[in-house]
Amino acid sequence: MMVWIVLLAPLWGGFILGAERKIRAHMQHRMGPPLLQPFYDMAKLMQKRTTIIHSGHALLALGYFVTLWIAVGVVLLDGNVLWAIFIHLLASVLLVTAGFSVPSIFSHVGANRELLAIVSYEPILLLLGVAWYVSSGSWESGAIALGGTYWTSMPLLGVALLMVVLLKTGKSPFDMAHAHQEIVGGVEVEYSGIFYEVLYMARFLEYIFIYAFVFLWGGVVAVALFFVLANLIDNATARLTPAQTVRWFYALGLPLALLNLLGLVA
Amino acid sequence: MKWFRQWAQKSPWILHYNAGSCNGCDIEILAALGPDYDLERFGVLNRGNPKQSDIFLVTGPVTYRSRERLVELYTQIPEPKVVVAMGACTATGGVFRGMYNVEDGIDTYIPVDVYIPGCAPSPQLLIDGMAKALEIWVQKSRDIEKPHRLFGGIRKTLHYLDRRTMAQTLAQSKEKEPQ
């Protein structure tokens, strides 16, 4: 079953994104777009004429998408959690390289913010992996899942993970990397047509990747809870600046993760 | 691509450009995107990026300083694209018509597909204009596909030959018909 989830990952991610847009619209007393809206967008983007800046720029977007898919495969198909985190890091670095490879100021600002985002969430994800190793004795995601849920042993890491979910899925207090009306989408500003579609589907994969971590932490209940909570927080808060975002992660997220890890070891 | 076209028209992303408007039209656009009228239920998103937009929604009479940016934004939108002129000023210059710093409507610079009248147009009118723009958009994407039809030349020739044979047969049969 997991193989099918990995092979059709963009499809499931599209459904998740569609459901999210629907839920967010209902939270704002709107009807919202239909559930299949991400797929309509994809069909539209396939029809548009594609303009590329240079081939390397377009290729890096493809590389980002494929690498991210591999990371999703590693975490879902009983792979090493550390591998998944670092392959995901490689994918993000490809995206940052793409952002710096074009002479566009918004693209550069977006790439800078992407780097700041990596600096913010990466230590927490690594500490989460270490905490799983400490409590279940294995780096493999299958063994971690068999070790039960971690609601009681890692509550503080759960809070930190919620912050990472907000950042990775581009939710409001921490959405500085993809700030749409501020830096016009950041790294994705120079993409159009089929290559923007690749980035659009990569966003679905980011959802699957980070919610796979949530699933490992607390099962299906945690995924549903984090999904609703993330959208609630997104609707209720305003965007923080990049410096404030990094400060939040290093002043709240990282200490919480470290405290929890110390508690597990002691 | 017919199958895709049905889907594609459900996702118009707009690029909103204020070419010197008094903000009345812009507030109506925001009202249409808000909970009361909810344009997003038709898949409309306000992108703010010309490279990923389909519908160019312009408000305001084009001021002298904004005309270059208007044309630049228009050229940056990839085809198929539709231009919607929102409000009286955008169509004709409105109350600013004839002023020294105003260019009297956007159709002096770029081709316009839909004019939405009113000062400012109500959100209902905007939704009507969007529906019209979608029709034109579908037609434009269909027109783009036309030259790419495989074996188009051969089919055309065969069609012509077929018509000629039919015409000859018809003429012969008419000759044979008993009067």
What single string gives the DSSP state of each residue in B6-60?
A: HHHTT--EEEEEESS--SHHHHHHHHHHSTTT-GGGGT-EE---GGG-SEEEEES
Residue A55 pLDDT: 87
Cβ of A263: how many Cβ atoms within 10 Å?
A: 14
Share of chain B above pLDDT 70, in %: 89
> Which of B7, B13, B79 minimises the CB distance to A43?
B7
Q: What is the count of residue pairs from A and B with beta carbons less than 8 Å apart? A: 84
Interatomic CA distance for residues A85 and A130, integer angstroms: 12
Residue A209, min C-alpha distance to chain B (Å): 26
Residue B82 pLDDT: 92
**pLDDT of B178 higher than 70:** no
Residue A87, min C-alpha distance to chain B (Å): 29
* CA nearest to A36 within chain B: B7
**pLDDT of A24 higher than 70:** yes
Q: What is the pLDDT of residues A110-168, one digit of tens each?
A: 899 999 999 999 999 999 989 988 888 888 887 787 777 888 788 888 899 999 999 98
Q: Are B67 and B90 in contact (CB under 8 A)?
A: no
Residue A62 pLDDT: 92
Residue B150 pLDDT: 60
Q: Are A212 and A125 in contact (CB under 8 A)?
A: no
Interatomic CA distance for residues A195 and A190, integer angstroms: 10
**pLDDT of A106 higher than 80:** yes
Question: How far from the centroid of its chain's Cα atoms is residue A130's Cα?
Answer: 20
Contact B40 A30 (CB under 8 A): yes
Q: How confident is the model at residue A84 (pLDDT cuts 50, 70, 90)?
A: very high
Task: Establish if B35 touches chain A: CB-CB under 8 angstroms.
Answer: yes
Q: How confident is the model at residue A88 (pLDDT cuts 50, 70, 90)?
A: very high
Strand partners, B59: B18, B86
Interatomic CA distance for residues B23 and A49, integer angstroms: 32
**pLDDT of B179 higher than 60:** no
Return left, alpha or beta for B11; rule: phi > 0 is left, psi -120 to 50 is alpha, else beta: beta
Q: How confident is the model at residue B2 (pLDDT cuts 50, 70, 90)?
A: low
- What integer is the mean pLDDT of B2-14? 77
**pLDDT of B149 higher than 60:** no
Residue A49, min C-alpha distance to chain B (Å): 5
Task: Establish if A51 touches chain B: CB-CB under 8 angstroms.
Answer: yes
Q: Are B42 and B130 in contact (CB under 8 A)?
A: yes
Residue B147 pLDDT: 56
Contact A47 B8 (CB under 8 A): yes
Residue A251 pLDDT: 92
Mean pLDDT score of chain B: 83
Contact A41 B49 (CB under 8 A): no
> Which of A39, A46, A192 minimises the CB distance to B78?
A192
Q: What is the pLDDT of residues B157-173, one digit of tens each?
A: 777 777 777 778 778 87
- CB neighbour class for B177 (10 Å; exposed up to 12, middle 13-18, buried from 19): exposed
Q: Which residues of B touch A48 (CB under 8 A)?
A: 54, 78-80
Task: Establish if A180 touches chain B: CB-CB under 8 angstroms.
Answer: yes
Residue A155 pLDDT: 85
CA dihedral B77→B83→B87→B93, nearest 10 degrees, is 90
SS3 at position B85: strand
**pLDDT of A86 higher than 80:** yes
Please report where in the chains the tokens 């849920």 appear, as a residue.
A149
Domain boundaries, chain B: 2-147, 150-179
The pTM assigned to this predicted structure is 0.82
- What integer is the mean pLDDT of A18-39? 88
* CA nearest to A32 within chain B: B41
Q: What is the pLDDT of residues B52-90, one digit of tens each?
A: 888 999 998 888 888 888 999 999 898 888 999 998 889
**pLDDT of B148 higher than 60:** no
Task: Establish if A44 touches chain B: CB-CB under 8 angstroms.
Answer: yes
Q: How far is CA A42 from CA A51, A206, B10, B43, in A?
A: 16, 17, 11, 12
3-state helix/strand/coil string of A198-212: HHHHHHHHHHHHHHH
Q: What is the pLDDT of residues A162-194, one digit of tens each?
A: 999 999 888 888 888 777 767 777 888 888 888
Residue B177 pLDDT: 65
Q: Which residues 83-142 on chain B approach chain A with CB closer than 8 angstroms?
A: 141
> Which of B5, B38, B79 minimises the CB distance to A31?
B38
- What integer is the mean pLDDT of A6-11? 82
Contact B41 A33 (CB under 8 A): yes
Q: What is the pLDDT of residues B96-145, one digit of tens each?
A: 888 888 888 888 888 999 999 888 899 999 999 988 998 888 888 777 76
The CATH architecture assigned to B2-147 reads 3-Layer(aba) Sandwich (3.40)
- What integer is the mean pLDDT of B14-23? 89
SS3 at position B87: coil
Contact A30 B43 (CB under 8 A): no
